[in-house]
Amino acid sequence: MNRCAWVDGKDPVYVKYHDEEWSKPCRDDALLYEMLILECFQAGLSWACILHKREAFRRAYGGFDAQKVAAYGEREIAAMMTDESIIRNRRKIEASIRNTRVFLDIQKEYGSFAAYLWGFTDGKSVREDYTVRTTSPLSDRVAADLKRRGMAFVGSTTVYSYLQAVGVIAAHAETCFCCRKEN
């Protein structure tokens, strides 16, 4: 079975993520939130590292319940800083809580985070070849707007990866079996 070249075929977690989640159009705010948090933690690390810690992140982030996370304070930050099963980067942890609050503000303003995010593309996936770029004019616009709203760790490269992950950017390689499913 042909997959995108970046997939480590020997890693079942990676294969499952590619085959079942990556670049599939997502309009579920809960999953959009989870992926946003994970992508922000990925900055500077491998995606495989994040995927293998996903369940630990799910525990640390209250099942990725944005309302719970928005209320996190110093006690929760301190607990996460001692949790060896997640990425213990204080700046990323603090940013994730701030980003959560901005996420909720966007939900209130637009009715859903999905409406906000998909509004950048008129609700349609945009086809882009991930092998030739790590940013795009679309990721530049989304990143700039998220930063303007107060989010951190949302540079254009991180946002580009996020947009691919949630299917706003349809990025499966032409030779990948999932590409045929997109069309």
- In sequence order, the β-bridge partners of residue 126 are 169
Tell me, yes or no, if 17 is annotated catalytic. Answer: yes
CB atoms within 10 A of CB 17: 18
Contact 128, 171 (CB under 8 A): yes
Which residue out of 14, 22, 33, 39 is catalytically annotated?
39
Going by C-alpha positions, the residue among 144, 141, 146, 138 that lies closest to residue 105 is 146
162 is catalytic: no
Out of 21, 47, 76, 110, the active site residue is: 47
User: Computed over its alpha carbons, how large is the radius of gyration of the chain?
Assistant: 16
- CB atoms closer than 10 angstroms to residue 10: 7
Q: In the annotation, is 14 catalytic?
A: no
Q: List active site positions.
A: 17, 39, 47
